[in-house]
Amino acid sequence: MIKSLDPRITRAEIDLENNIEPLRDLDQWETYEVFHQKRRGDQHMHVGIVHAPNAEMALIFGKEQYGRRGLSVNLWVVKTRDVFASDYDDSDIFETVPEKQYREAGGYKVMDKINKYKKGL
Amino acid sequence: MYGNAYIDPNDKAAMMIAGEDPDKLAAFEARIARGEKIEPKDWMPKEYRKQLIRMIEQHGHSEIIGALPEGTWITRAPGFRRKLALMAKVQDEVGHAQLLYSAAETLGKSREAMINDLITGKSKYSNVFNYPAYTWADACIIAWLIDAGAIINQVANAKGSYGPYCRALDRICTEESFHLKYGHDNVVTLATGTPKQREMVQAALTRWWPPIMHFFGPSDKISNHTEILMRWKVKMASNDDMRQQFLNMYVPKIWDLGLTLPDKNLKKNAEGKWEYTEPDWEEFKRVINGGGPCNAERLAVRRDAEERGRWVREALNTADSKYIVPLA
Protein backbone atom coordinates (compact mmCIF):
# COMPACT_ATOMS: atom_id res chain seq x y z
CA MET A 1 0.00 0.00 0.00
CA ILE A 2 1.20 3.49 -0.80
CA LYS A 3 2.22 5.63 2.16
CA SER A 4 1.99 9.05 0.58
CA LEU A 5 2.71 12.61 1.68
CA ASP A 6 -0.88 13.17 0.55
CA PRO A 7 -3.18 11.80 3.28
CA ARG A 8 -5.98 11.28 0.75
CA ILE A 9 -3.80 8.87 -1.21
CA THR A 10 -2.73 6.96 1.90
CA ARG A 11 -6.40 6.64 2.94
CA ALA A 12 -7.32 5.25 -0.49
CA GLU A 13 -5.11 2.18 0.21
CA ILE A 14 -3.63 1.94 -3.26
CA ASP A 15 -1.43 -0.99 -4.18
CA LEU A 16 1.82 0.26 -5.72
CA GLU A 17 1.88 -2.72 -8.07
CA ASN A 18 -1.74 -2.43 -9.22
CA ASN A 19 -2.20 -3.58 -12.78
CA ILE A 20 -5.38 -2.72 -14.59
CA GLU A 21 -7.03 -3.74 -17.83
CA PRO A 22 -6.32 -1.21 -20.56
CA LEU A 23 -9.17 1.18 -21.35
CA ARG A 24 -11.33 -0.05 -24.20
CA ASP A 25 -12.58 2.02 -27.14
CA LEU A 26 -15.32 4.47 -26.14
CA ASP A 27 -14.37 4.17 -22.45
CA GLN A 28 -14.10 7.96 -22.63
CA TRP A 29 -17.30 8.23 -24.71
CA GLU A 30 -17.73 10.32 -27.84
CA THR A 31 -17.17 14.05 -28.21
CA TYR A 32 -19.43 17.08 -28.20
CA GLU A 33 -18.52 20.46 -29.66
CA VAL A 34 -19.13 23.25 -27.12
CA PHE A 35 -20.40 26.75 -27.93
CA HIS A 36 -20.12 29.41 -25.27
CA GLN A 37 -21.98 32.71 -24.89
CA LYS A 38 -20.27 35.27 -22.71
CA ARG A 39 -23.07 37.80 -22.28
CA ARG A 40 -26.66 38.09 -23.43
CA GLY A 41 -26.57 39.61 -26.88
CA ASP A 42 -23.19 38.07 -27.85
CA GLN A 43 -22.82 35.33 -30.45
CA HIS A 44 -22.20 31.84 -29.15
CA MET A 45 -18.56 31.00 -29.91
CA HIS A 46 -17.04 27.58 -30.50
CA VAL A 47 -14.60 26.95 -27.65
CA GLY A 48 -13.65 23.28 -27.95
CA ILE A 49 -14.88 19.80 -27.14
CA VAL A 50 -15.79 17.64 -24.19
CA HIS A 51 -16.07 13.86 -23.96
CA ALA A 52 -19.47 12.88 -22.61
CA PRO A 53 -21.95 9.98 -22.61
CA ASN A 54 -24.95 12.22 -23.39
CA ALA A 55 -25.92 15.84 -23.99
CA GLU A 56 -26.82 16.57 -20.36
CA MET A 57 -23.41 15.39 -19.16
CA ALA A 58 -21.77 17.33 -21.99
CA LEU A 59 -23.38 20.49 -20.61
CA ILE A 60 -22.08 19.73 -17.11
CA PHE A 61 -18.54 19.04 -18.35
CA GLY A 62 -18.77 22.04 -20.69
CA LYS A 63 -19.62 24.28 -17.74
CA GLU A 64 -16.63 22.99 -15.74
CA GLN A 65 -14.25 23.18 -18.66
CA TYR A 66 -15.22 26.39 -20.45
CA GLY A 67 -17.32 28.29 -17.91
CA ARG A 68 -15.33 28.15 -14.71
CA ARG A 69 -13.63 31.52 -15.33
CA GLY A 70 -14.93 34.86 -16.47
CA LEU A 71 -18.37 35.54 -17.80
CA SER A 72 -20.83 32.97 -19.11
CA VAL A 73 -24.58 33.02 -19.55
CA ASN A 74 -25.27 30.12 -21.89
CA LEU A 75 -23.79 26.98 -23.47
CA TRP A 76 -24.72 24.82 -26.42
CA VAL A 77 -23.39 21.33 -27.04
CA VAL A 78 -23.62 19.43 -30.31
CA LYS A 79 -22.40 15.92 -31.04
CA THR A 80 -19.23 16.17 -33.14
CA ARG A 81 -20.65 13.58 -35.51
CA ASP A 82 -23.65 15.84 -36.21
CA VAL A 83 -21.52 18.71 -37.51
CA PHE A 84 -21.35 18.89 -41.26
CA ALA A 85 -18.28 20.90 -42.24
CA SER A 86 -16.83 22.21 -45.48
CA ASP A 87 -13.42 20.96 -46.52
CA TYR A 88 -10.31 23.15 -46.23
CA ASP A 89 -9.24 21.78 -49.60
CA ASP A 90 -12.32 23.49 -51.02
CA SER A 91 -11.48 26.89 -49.51
CA ASP A 92 -11.48 28.31 -53.04
CA ILE A 93 -15.29 28.27 -52.96
CA PHE A 94 -15.00 31.40 -50.82
CA GLU A 95 -12.92 33.24 -53.39
CA THR A 96 -14.84 35.70 -55.52
CA VAL A 97 -13.77 38.50 -57.82
CA PRO A 98 -11.10 40.53 -56.03
CA GLU A 99 -13.12 43.72 -56.29
CA LYS A 100 -16.08 43.39 -53.89
CA GLN A 101 -16.57 47.07 -53.04
CA TYR A 102 -20.02 47.00 -54.59
CA ARG A 103 -21.26 44.75 -51.79
CA GLU A 104 -19.62 46.56 -48.90
CA ALA A 105 -20.69 49.70 -47.00
CA GLY A 106 -17.31 51.29 -47.69
CA GLY A 107 -18.01 51.13 -51.41
CA TYR A 108 -20.58 53.90 -51.14
CA LYS A 109 -19.14 57.37 -50.48
CA VAL A 110 -21.56 60.27 -50.84
CA MET A 111 -20.07 63.09 -48.73
CA ASP A 112 -17.93 64.42 -51.63
CA LYS A 113 -20.99 64.75 -53.80
CA ILE A 114 -23.04 66.33 -51.02
CA ASN A 115 -20.28 68.86 -50.19
CA LYS A 116 -19.82 69.72 -53.84
CA TYR A 117 -23.55 70.19 -54.26
CA LYS A 118 -23.75 72.44 -51.17
CA LYS A 119 -20.85 74.61 -52.44
CA GLY A 120 -22.60 75.01 -55.76
CA LEU A 121 -25.81 76.32 -54.15
CA MET B 1 6.62 4.04 -55.14
CA TYR B 2 10.32 4.79 -55.16
CA GLY B 3 11.50 1.22 -54.80
CA ASN B 4 15.16 1.87 -55.23
CA ALA B 5 15.59 5.05 -53.31
CA TYR B 6 18.02 4.31 -50.55
CA ILE B 7 17.67 6.45 -47.46
CA ASP B 8 20.51 6.35 -45.02
CA PRO B 9 18.86 5.43 -41.70
CA ASN B 10 21.45 7.54 -39.91
CA ASP B 11 20.40 10.64 -41.80
CA LYS B 12 17.58 11.67 -39.49
CA ALA B 13 16.55 14.67 -41.58
CA ALA B 14 16.17 12.55 -44.72
CA MET B 15 14.29 9.87 -42.77
CA MET B 16 11.83 12.50 -41.55
CA ILE B 17 10.60 13.32 -45.02
CA ALA B 18 11.24 9.95 -46.67
CA GLY B 19 8.38 8.92 -48.96
CA GLU B 20 6.54 12.25 -48.71
CA ASP B 21 5.08 13.76 -51.87
CA PRO B 22 7.50 16.62 -52.70
CA ASP B 23 4.76 18.92 -54.07
CA LYS B 24 2.55 18.48 -51.05
CA LEU B 25 5.52 18.93 -48.74
CA ALA B 26 6.49 22.17 -50.48
CA ALA B 27 2.92 23.52 -50.24
CA PHE B 28 2.77 22.54 -46.57
CA GLU B 29 6.05 24.27 -45.78
CA ALA B 30 5.04 27.35 -47.76
CA ARG B 31 1.82 27.59 -45.75
CA ILE B 32 3.78 27.51 -42.48
CA ALA B 33 6.32 30.02 -43.81
CA ARG B 34 3.43 32.40 -44.59
CA GLY B 35 2.39 32.16 -40.94
CA GLU B 36 -0.79 30.18 -41.65
CA LYS B 37 -1.93 27.49 -39.24
CA ILE B 38 -2.30 23.82 -40.12
CA GLU B 39 -5.75 22.38 -39.35
CA PRO B 40 -6.54 18.72 -38.52
CA LYS B 41 -7.69 17.56 -41.94
CA ASP B 42 -4.93 19.29 -43.90
CA TRP B 43 -2.24 17.18 -45.49
CA MET B 44 0.80 16.95 -43.23
CA PRO B 45 4.03 14.93 -43.24
CA LYS B 46 3.83 11.74 -41.17
CA GLU B 47 6.69 12.92 -39.00
CA TYR B 48 4.95 16.24 -38.26
CA ARG B 49 1.91 14.34 -37.04
CA LYS B 50 4.00 11.92 -35.00
CA GLN B 51 6.08 14.60 -33.30
CA LEU B 52 3.05 16.73 -32.48
CA ILE B 53 1.10 13.81 -31.01
CA ARG B 54 4.09 12.93 -28.84
CA MET B 55 4.59 16.50 -27.71
CA ILE B 56 0.96 17.46 -27.04
CA GLU B 57 0.19 14.13 -25.38
CA GLN B 58 3.17 14.45 -23.02
CA HIS B 59 2.13 17.99 -22.25
CA GLY B 60 -1.36 16.70 -21.35
CA HIS B 61 0.07 13.94 -19.14
CA SER B 62 2.24 16.52 -17.34
CA GLU B 63 -0.82 18.56 -16.43
CA ILE B 64 -2.59 15.49 -15.00
CA ILE B 65 0.41 14.19 -13.07
CA GLY B 66 1.37 17.72 -11.95
CA ALA B 67 -1.93 17.91 -10.09
CA LEU B 68 -0.67 15.17 -7.74
CA PRO B 69 2.31 16.89 -6.04
CA GLU B 70 0.29 20.10 -5.77
CA GLY B 71 -2.83 18.34 -4.56
CA THR B 72 -0.75 16.85 -1.72
CA TRP B 73 -1.32 20.00 0.34
CA ILE B 74 -5.01 20.69 -0.36
CA THR B 75 -6.11 19.07 2.90
CA ARG B 76 -3.62 21.12 4.94
CA ALA B 77 -3.53 24.47 3.14
CA PRO B 78 -2.96 27.34 5.60
CA GLY B 79 -6.39 28.91 5.66
CA PHE B 80 -9.60 28.77 3.67
CA ARG B 81 -8.60 31.25 0.96
CA ARG B 82 -5.38 29.37 0.24
CA LYS B 83 -7.32 26.13 0.10
CA LEU B 84 -9.88 27.53 -2.33
CA ALA B 85 -7.12 28.94 -4.53
CA LEU B 86 -5.14 25.70 -4.55
CA MET B 87 -8.22 23.66 -5.43
CA ALA B 88 -8.95 26.08 -8.28
CA LYS B 89 -5.39 25.79 -9.52
CA VAL B 90 -5.39 22.00 -9.42
CA GLN B 91 -8.74 21.94 -11.22
CA ASP B 92 -7.28 24.23 -13.89
CA GLU B 93 -4.36 21.84 -14.43
CA VAL B 94 -6.72 18.92 -14.95
CA GLY B 95 -8.76 21.10 -17.30
CA HIS B 96 -5.58 21.90 -19.24
CA ALA B 97 -4.98 18.20 -19.70
CA GLN B 98 -8.46 17.87 -21.20
CA LEU B 99 -7.73 20.70 -23.66
CA LEU B 100 -4.40 19.19 -24.65
CA TYR B 101 -5.72 15.66 -25.05
CA SER B 102 -8.44 17.10 -27.28
CA ALA B 103 -5.83 18.82 -29.45
CA ALA B 104 -3.78 15.60 -29.71
CA GLU B 105 -6.92 13.63 -30.59
CA THR B 106 -7.46 15.76 -33.69
CA LEU B 107 -4.24 14.17 -34.99
CA GLY B 108 -5.75 10.70 -34.76
CA LYS B 109 -4.69 9.19 -31.42
CA SER B 110 -7.68 8.35 -29.23
CA ARG B 111 -7.92 9.53 -25.65
CA GLU B 112 -8.11 5.92 -24.46
CA ALA B 113 -4.83 5.14 -26.23
CA MET B 114 -3.16 8.16 -24.60
CA ILE B 115 -4.36 7.20 -21.12
CA ASN B 116 -3.25 3.61 -21.67
CA ASP B 117 0.21 4.78 -22.71
CA LEU B 118 0.44 6.97 -19.61
CA ILE B 119 -0.58 4.33 -17.07
CA THR B 120 1.67 1.65 -18.53
CA GLY B 121 4.62 4.05 -18.43
CA LYS B 122 5.04 4.09 -22.22
CA SER B 123 4.48 7.85 -22.51
CA LYS B 124 6.50 10.34 -20.54
CA TYR B 125 5.47 13.43 -18.63
CA SER B 126 7.42 16.33 -17.18
CA ASN B 127 10.16 14.95 -15.01
CA VAL B 128 9.72 17.51 -12.22
CA PHE B 129 6.52 15.83 -11.07
CA ASN B 130 8.42 12.74 -10.02
CA TYR B 131 9.65 14.70 -7.01
CA PRO B 132 7.61 15.03 -3.81
CA ALA B 133 6.15 18.15 -2.20
CA TYR B 134 7.49 17.64 1.33
CA THR B 135 5.99 20.81 2.81
CA TRP B 136 3.45 23.49 1.98
CA ALA B 137 6.39 25.59 0.79
CA ASP B 138 7.23 22.99 -1.87
CA ALA B 139 3.72 23.44 -3.28
CA CYS B 140 4.30 27.21 -3.30
CA ILE B 141 7.63 26.87 -5.15
CA ILE B 142 5.96 24.59 -7.71
CA ALA B 143 3.11 27.05 -8.22
CA TRP B 144 5.49 29.92 -8.78
CA LEU B 145 8.58 28.60 -10.51
CA ILE B 146 7.42 25.44 -12.27
CA ASP B 147 4.44 27.34 -13.61
CA ALA B 148 6.79 30.16 -14.64
CA GLY B 149 8.84 27.66 -16.63
CA ALA B 150 5.70 26.17 -18.13
CA ILE B 151 4.49 29.59 -19.22
CA ILE B 152 7.75 30.34 -21.05
CA ASN B 153 7.42 27.04 -22.88
CA GLN B 154 3.71 27.48 -23.59
CA VAL B 155 3.94 31.08 -24.80
CA ALA B 156 6.61 29.95 -27.28
CA ASN B 157 4.58 26.95 -28.45
CA ALA B 158 1.39 29.02 -28.79
CA LYS B 159 3.09 30.62 -31.83
CA GLY B 160 3.59 27.22 -33.43
CA SER B 161 1.96 25.96 -36.60
CA TYR B 162 -0.72 23.51 -35.46
CA GLY B 163 -4.06 25.32 -35.02
CA PRO B 164 -5.71 23.14 -32.33
CA TYR B 165 -2.56 23.15 -30.15
CA CYS B 166 -2.20 26.94 -30.44
CA ARG B 167 -5.85 27.48 -29.50
CA ALA B 168 -5.53 25.21 -26.46
CA LEU B 169 -2.35 27.01 -25.39
CA ASP B 170 -3.90 30.46 -25.71
CA ARG B 171 -6.61 29.42 -23.27
CA ILE B 172 -4.09 27.71 -20.98
CA CYS B 173 -1.73 30.71 -20.87
CA THR B 174 -4.56 33.01 -19.78
CA GLU B 175 -5.31 30.70 -16.86
CA GLU B 176 -1.67 30.17 -15.98
CA SER B 177 -1.24 33.86 -15.32
CA PHE B 178 -3.35 33.40 -12.17
CA HIS B 179 -1.20 30.43 -11.13
CA LEU B 180 1.96 32.45 -11.44
CA LYS B 181 0.61 35.37 -9.39
CA TYR B 182 -0.84 32.98 -6.83
CA GLY B 183 2.50 31.15 -6.52
CA HIS B 184 4.47 34.39 -6.23
CA ASP B 185 2.08 35.69 -3.57
CA ASN B 186 2.55 32.48 -1.57
CA VAL B 187 6.34 32.54 -1.81
CA VAL B 188 6.46 36.25 -0.90
CA THR B 189 4.20 35.60 2.11
CA LEU B 190 6.57 32.92 3.40
CA ALA B 191 9.75 34.81 2.54
CA THR B 192 8.59 37.96 4.32
CA GLY B 193 7.05 36.06 7.24
CA THR B 194 8.44 34.53 10.41
CA PRO B 195 11.99 33.08 10.55
CA LYS B 196 10.40 29.61 10.50
CA GLN B 197 8.45 30.44 7.31
CA ARG B 198 11.59 31.82 5.65
CA GLU B 199 13.49 28.72 6.58
CA MET B 200 10.73 26.57 5.12
CA VAL B 201 10.61 28.38 1.77
CA GLN B 202 14.41 28.46 1.50
CA ALA B 203 14.57 24.70 2.08
CA ALA B 204 11.91 24.08 -0.58
CA LEU B 205 13.70 26.34 -3.08
CA THR B 206 16.99 24.53 -2.47
CA ARG B 207 15.26 21.16 -3.01
CA TRP B 208 13.51 22.28 -6.19
CA TRP B 209 16.40 24.09 -7.87
CA PRO B 210 17.95 21.02 -9.56
CA PRO B 211 14.58 19.84 -11.01
CA ILE B 212 13.89 23.43 -12.12
CA MET B 213 17.21 23.52 -13.97
CA HIS B 214 16.27 20.20 -15.59
CA PHE B 215 12.85 21.51 -16.57
CA PHE B 216 13.66 22.68 -20.11
CA GLY B 217 15.71 19.58 -20.89
CA PRO B 218 19.34 19.15 -21.98
CA SER B 219 20.94 21.41 -24.60
CA ASP B 220 19.54 20.63 -28.02
CA LYS B 221 21.95 19.03 -30.40
CA ILE B 222 22.03 21.28 -33.42
CA SER B 223 21.04 18.81 -36.08
CA ASN B 224 19.14 18.87 -39.36
CA HIS B 225 16.43 17.06 -37.47
CA THR B 226 15.95 19.99 -35.07
CA GLU B 227 16.17 22.42 -37.98
CA ILE B 228 13.24 20.73 -39.71
CA LEU B 229 11.15 20.76 -36.52
CA MET B 230 11.89 24.47 -36.18
CA ARG B 231 11.02 25.10 -39.83
CA TRP B 232 7.73 23.25 -39.30
CA LYS B 233 7.15 25.36 -36.17
CA VAL B 234 6.80 22.29 -34.00
CA LYS B 235 9.76 23.32 -31.89
CA MET B 236 9.73 27.07 -31.28
CA ALA B 237 12.77 27.75 -29.13
CA SER B 238 15.85 25.83 -28.06
CA ASN B 239 15.95 24.37 -24.56
CA ASP B 240 18.92 26.57 -23.65
CA ASP B 241 17.20 29.73 -24.88
CA MET B 242 14.15 28.97 -22.77
CA ARG B 243 16.34 28.25 -19.74
CA GLN B 244 18.14 31.58 -20.25
CA GLN B 245 14.83 33.39 -20.50
CA PHE B 246 13.65 31.75 -17.27
CA LEU B 247 16.82 32.62 -15.38
CA ASN B 248 16.69 36.18 -16.64
CA MET B 249 13.13 36.69 -15.50
CA TYR B 250 13.13 34.84 -12.18
CA VAL B 251 16.59 34.76 -10.60
CA PRO B 252 16.44 38.52 -9.85
CA LYS B 253 12.97 38.07 -8.32
CA ILE B 254 14.27 35.23 -6.13
CA TRP B 255 17.30 37.25 -5.03
CA ASP B 256 15.01 40.23 -4.32
CA LEU B 257 13.47 38.20 -1.52
CA GLY B 258 16.90 37.55 0.01
CA LEU B 259 16.64 33.85 -0.85
CA THR B 260 19.70 31.97 -2.05
CA LEU B 261 20.11 29.45 -4.85
CA PRO B 262 22.27 26.36 -4.39
CA ASP B 263 24.64 27.13 -7.27
CA LYS B 264 27.74 29.21 -6.55
CA ASN B 265 28.45 29.59 -10.26
CA LEU B 266 25.11 31.18 -11.06
CA LYS B 267 25.67 34.69 -12.41
CA LYS B 268 24.95 36.90 -15.37
CA ASN B 269 28.08 37.48 -17.44
CA ALA B 270 29.19 40.62 -19.28
CA GLU B 271 27.32 39.53 -22.43
CA GLY B 272 24.08 39.28 -20.47
CA LYS B 273 24.03 35.48 -20.52
CA TRP B 274 23.50 33.42 -17.41
CA GLU B 275 26.28 31.09 -16.37
CA TYR B 276 25.51 28.12 -14.16
CA THR B 277 26.80 24.74 -13.10
CA GLU B 278 25.74 22.20 -15.71
CA PRO B 279 22.75 20.31 -14.28
CA ASP B 280 23.24 16.61 -13.54
CA TRP B 281 21.80 15.06 -16.69
CA GLU B 282 22.51 11.52 -15.49
CA GLU B 283 20.12 12.14 -12.59
CA PHE B 284 17.60 13.56 -15.08
CA LYS B 285 17.79 10.41 -17.20
CA ARG B 286 17.59 8.14 -14.16
CA VAL B 287 14.41 9.86 -12.94
CA ILE B 288 12.72 10.12 -16.33
CA ASN B 289 13.27 6.39 -16.82
CA GLY B 290 11.42 5.51 -13.65
CA GLY B 291 14.07 5.90 -10.95
CA GLY B 292 12.75 9.04 -9.25
CA PRO B 293 11.28 9.22 -5.77
CA CYS B 294 7.63 9.34 -6.90
CA ASN B 295 7.38 7.74 -10.37
CA ALA B 296 5.80 4.52 -9.11
CA GLU B 297 3.34 6.29 -6.81
CA ARG B 298 2.22 8.75 -9.50
CA LEU B 299 1.35 6.00 -11.98
CA ALA B 300 -0.25 3.73 -9.38
CA VAL B 301 -2.53 6.60 -8.29
CA ARG B 302 -3.42 7.27 -11.92
CA ARG B 303 -4.24 3.59 -12.55
CA ASP B 304 -6.30 3.43 -9.38
CA ALA B 305 -8.32 6.47 -10.43
CA GLU B 306 -9.05 4.95 -13.86
CA GLU B 307 -10.03 1.63 -12.28
CA ARG B 308 -12.33 3.10 -9.63
CA GLY B 309 -14.12 5.27 -12.16
CA ARG B 310 -14.49 2.56 -14.77
CA TRP B 311 -17.88 1.18 -13.65
CA VAL B 312 -19.37 4.69 -13.69
CA ARG B 313 -18.09 5.37 -17.19
CA GLU B 314 -19.36 2.00 -18.41
CA ALA B 315 -22.76 2.47 -16.78
CA LEU B 316 -23.18 5.80 -18.57
CA ASN B 317 -22.13 4.50 -21.96
CA THR B 318 -24.94 4.22 -24.45
CA ALA B 319 -25.23 1.69 -27.21
CA ASP B 320 -25.44 4.26 -29.98
CA SER B 321 -22.17 6.05 -29.06
CA LYS B 322 -19.84 6.38 -31.99
CA TYR B 323 -16.44 8.02 -31.83
CA ILE B 324 -15.32 10.35 -34.55
CA VAL B 325 -12.21 12.51 -34.40
CA PRO B 326 -12.99 16.04 -33.14
CA LEU B 327 -13.09 18.74 -35.80
CA ALA B 328 -10.86 21.38 -34.33
Q: Per-residue confidence of chain B (328 residues) as pLDDT tens digits? A: 344 445 566 677 788 888 999 999 999 999 999 999 999 999 999 999 999 999 999 999 999 999 999 999 999 999 999 999 999 999 999 999 999 999 999 999 999 999 999 999 999 999 999 999 999 999 999 999 999 999 999 999 999 999 999 999 999 999 999 999 999 999 999 999 999 999 999 999 999 999 999 999 998 876 777 889 999 999 999 999 999 999 999 999 999 999 999 999 999 999 999 999 999 999 999 999 999 999 999 999 999 999 999 999 999 998 888 898 998 8
Residue pLDDT, tens place only, A69-98:
889 999 999 999 999 999 988 988 888 777
Q: Which residue(s) pair with B162 in the sheet?
A: B38
Residue B156 lies in a domain: yes
CB B164 within 8 A of CB B328: yes
Residue among B88, B97, B90 nearest B62 (CA): B97
Residue B96 resides in a domain: yes
The verdict on ipTM greater than 0.85 is yes
- CATH class of the domain defined by A26-120: alpha beta
Please state the pTM of the whole predicted model: 0.92
Q: Does B112 touch chain A (CB under 8 A)?
A: yes
Please indicate whether, in this complex, the C-beta atoms of A17 and B300 are within 8 angstroms of each other: yes
Residue of A nearest to B303 (CA): A20
Instruction: Tell me the CB-side half-sphere exposure of residue B160, using CA atoms within 13 A.
Output: 29
Residue B32 within any structural domain of the chain: yes
Domains of chain A, by residue range, sit at: 26-120
The letter for the amino acid at B298 is: R
**How many structural domains comprise chain B?**
1
Task: Look at the alpha carbons of A66, A67, A73, A79 in this order and tell me if their dihedral is positive or negative.
Answer: positive
Please name the residues in contact with A77: beta carbons below 8 A apart, sequence gap of 6 or more: A32, A33, A34, A35, A50, A52, A55, A58, A59, A62
Note whether residue B6 is domain-resident: no
Residue of B168, B96, B304, B115 whose CA lies nearest to A29: B115
- Contacts of B312 by beta carbon, 8 Å cutoff, 6+ apart: none
By residue count, chain B amounts to 328
Interval A88-114 mean pLDDT: 86
Bridge partners, residue A31, by sequence: A51
| Record: contact B306-A23, CB cut-off 8 A | yes
pLDDT of residue B16: 87
Is residue B230 in some structural domain? yes
B247 contact partners, CB below 8 Å, separation of at least 6: B266, B274, B276
Question: By residue range, what is the domain housing residue B197?
Answer: 27-299
The values of phi and psi at residue B208, to 5°, are -85, -10
Contact B303 A20 (CB under 8 A): yes
CB proximity B110 to A under 8 Å:
yes
Suggest the residue from B123, B177, B303, B325 to mutate for an interface test with chain A (most A CBs closer than 10 A). B303
Q: What CATH number does the domain containing B100 carry?
A: 1.20.1260.10
Q: Is residue B292 part of a domain?
A: yes
